[in-house]
Amino acid sequence: MAKPSRNRPLIATGAELDGFTIGECVHRGGMATLWSVAHPGINVPLLMKIPRVSEGEDPAAIVSFEMEQMILPRLAGPHVPGCFGTGDFGRQPYVVIERIPGTTLYDRLSDLPIPYEEARVIGGKIATALADLHRQNVIHHDIKPSSIMFRPSGECVLIDFGLSHHNLLPDLLQEEFRLPYGTAPYMAPERLLGVRNDPRSDLFSLGVLLYFFTTGERPFGEGETLRGMRRRLWRDPHPPRKLKTDYPSWLQEIVLRCLEIEPVWRHPTASQLAFELAHPEQIKLTARSERQTHDPLSTVWRRRFNRGLTQPRPKSDLAAQLASGPIVAVALDTAEGAGLLNESLRKAAEQILATLPSARLACLNVLKLGRITLDKTLDEQGNNKHIDRLVALRHWASPLQLDESRLTVHVLEAIDPASAILEFVEVNHVDHVVIGARQNSLARALLGSVSARVAAEAGCTVTVVRPPRLAAMHGQEETEAGAVRNG
């Protein structure tokens, strides 16, 4: 662990350090202070974070600051503050970050409980930010209201990475301390066993936050001793519906799944959690959703003496875990004559899902609207076109025999099918699109192929599947598997 120098430059308003002019102190925390700073070559508002390293300070403050210095410069994107400089402990430790306007989610505590719909939107934004963070090999490990902000454009920004784990960097907290560091009410059970490399620990913390923000009560109480915290290794919280009779079933399903003791019982990835929060009407409800009582004593005792729940687990591979639970979207054509192509699409989807036991499948169809005509909701037989297509999508997926919790169907209404598919892919953070290439036609020649545009513009892997008759020209039925990788 690096040792701070006794001859550090004085940090004071008006002083200059490595080209940064120091302004006012805007916050004094238990582990660090924040100062406004300016730099002639940087046009965004900045903050300089400086650890508290004086005599008697917690040594964990220094170690966590070293972790933040290592991790922040490696992060990018709208869900983290930009990093503009760091200073080493030999002279003056600091990190300069983008100053996000506004306040943290902590300022909403006086408003609790908040409306369910607002909590759904907030939770979805946090889950999206976590998914982006996990893809960058980082687990936050301190998700709580004071670590969450929102940009004026709406994106969630995660701050305070001092307790984080980077899958490709040394974990100094793990190496130097045996006790778990974190915020007790939000800490996942496996953290008590020394597990710091499972991204689903962040989902547990988000579940605590959603429970708290929608009921006004913390699922595991307020302050807890380490001994008391170990109870969450075998004891569930009271179901939200016991506290609020109007609590939505779909929201309880999500919250209690996040708060499962075993990580494997939670959502496989933050992306899948964000997907469920974006589509609550399609959530597969289980017994969790209607539970109104505490777990029975027999269950508590079984967990209490189950060594698998109370012993440290082997380390997992973060990248492999995320890769095993992608969101796969299949774009289907329900028009007459598309049967052979849809069968090829099903075979392609089956091959992809066979190696991904935690993947989620989203079946898409676009109900094309006219540019100037008034569209009718019923077909010539008087059937609702939207509902008919939803039924057709489920019928197409039925041979795959997926658990309902892994399958959703979506009919998108749009003038431009390609734009509708691309928007769905972006908004729902789809990892892999499977789409068919229609046979040659005059319309396709004049207007361009939907599959070609999706393959060119989607920010994920795209598999373009050819119908059998086209493939036969090449002597076999084929797919352009993984044909395009964007982003």
Strand partners, 463: 434
Q: Rounded distance, CA 2 to CA 107, Å?
A: 35
Residues 450 and 434 both lie in one domain: yes
Same domain, 306 and 329: no
Q: Do 299 and 197 have their domain in common? A: yes
Indicate whether 75 and 146 sit together in one domain. no
Residue 35 placed within a domain: yes
CA 389 to chain centre: 29
d(CA 188, CA 233): 9
Angle formed at CA 211 by CA 208 and CA 217, multiple of 5 degrees: 100
Q: What gap in Å lies between CA 293 and CA 284, rounded to an integer?
A: 21
Residue 8 lies in a domain: no
**How many residues are there in the chain?**
487
Last residue of a domain, one of 81, 98, 115: 98
**Torsion angle defined by CA atoms of residues 259, 263, 266 and 269, in that order, rounded to the nearest 10 degrees:** 120
Half-sphere exposure of 46 (CA within 13 A, CB side): 23
Scanning the structure block, which residue is given the tokens 């380490």?
A: 226
Same domain membership, residue 330 and residue 315: no
- Shared domain for 218 and 266, answered yes or no, is yes
In terms of Cα–Cα distance, which of 195, 369, 58 is closest to 187? 195
- 215 is a domain residue: yes
CATH at 84 = 3.30.200.20
Task: Show which of 274, 303, 322 is a domain's final residue.
Answer: 322
Residues 262 and 407 in one domain: no
3 state SS for the chain:
CCCCCCCCCCCCCCCEECCEEEEEEEEECCCEEEEEEEECCEEEEEEEEEECCCCCCCHHHHHHHHHHHHHHHHCCCCCCCCEEEEECCCCCCEEEEECCCCCCHHHHHHHCCCCHHHHHHHHHHHHHHHHHHHHCCEECCCCCHHHEEECCCCCEEECCCCCCEECCCCCHHHHHCCCCCCCHHHCCHHHHHCCCCCCHHHHHHHHHHHHHHHHCCCCCCCCCCHHHHHHHHCCCCCCHHHHCCCCCHHHHHHHHHHCCCCHHHCCCCHHHHHHHHHCHHHCCCCHHHHCCCCCCHHHHHHHHCCHHHHCCCCCCCHHHHHHCCCEEEEECCCCCCCHHHHHHHHHHHHHHHHCCCCCEEEEEEEEECCCCCCCCCECCCCCEHHHHHHHHHHHHHHHHCCCHHHEEEEEEEECCHHHHHHHHHHHCCCCEEEEECCCCCHHHHHHCCHHHHHHHHCCCEEEEECCHHHHHCCCCCCEEEEEEECC
Q: Which residue has the tokens 């599959």?
A: 451
For residue 202, the Cα-to-chain-centroid distance in whole angstroms is 9
Mean pLDDT by 10 residues, the chain (487 residues): 50 92 90 92 95 68 90 97 92 94 96 98 98 97 97 96 92 76 90 91 98 96 73 89 96 97 94 97 94 79 64 63 89 80 92 91 88 56 78 93 90 91 94 84 57 92 80 46 46
Strands 32-39 and 148-150: unpaired
- What residues contact residue 54 under an 8 Å CB cut-off, 6+ apart? none
- Return all residues near 258 (Cβ < 8 A) that are at least 6 apart: 203, 204, 206, 207, 208, 210, 266, 267, 273
User: pLDDT by residue (tens digit) across 441-464?
Assistant: 544 544 458 888 999 999 999 999
* 441 domain residue, yes or no: yes
Which tokens sit at 457?
Answer: 């513009």
Other residues' Cβ atoms within 10 Å of the Cβ of residue 114: 13
Tell me whether residue 125 is in a domain. yes
150 and 57 within one domain: no
Q: Which domain, by its residues, includes 230?
A: 105-322
453 located within any domain? yes
Nearest to 322 by CA among 403, 486, 203, 434: 203
Model pLDDT, residue 74: 96
pLDDT for res 419:
93
Angle at CA 228, nearest 5°, toward 224 and 232?
105
Q: How many CB atoms lie within 10 A of CB 49?
A: 25
Asked if residue 268 and residue 345 are part of one domain, the reply reads no
At 187, which amino acid appears? M
Give pLDDT tens digits for 135-189.
999 999 999 999 999 999 999 999 999 999 999 998 888 777 766 788 889 999 9
Of 98, 114, 137, the last residue of a domain is 98
Contact 39, 97 (CB under 8 A): no
Asked whether the CA dihedral 398, 402, 408, 413 is positive or negative, the reply is: negative
Backbone angles phi, psi at 87, to 5 degrees: -125, 140
Identify whether residues 353 and 478 lie together within a single domain: yes
The reply to whether 11 falls in a domain is no
- 335 shares its domain with 458: yes
What is the CATH classification number for the domain harbouring 411? Answer: 3.40.50.620
Is residue 81 within 8 A of residue 97, CB to CB? The reply is yes
Domain with 215 in it: what CATH number?
Answer: 1.10.510.10
* pLDDT of amino acid 447: 44
Domain count across the chain = 3
Residue 2 lies in a domain: no
Same domain for 307 and 328, yes or no, is no
pLDDT computed for residue 6 by the predictor: 47
Residue type, 446: L
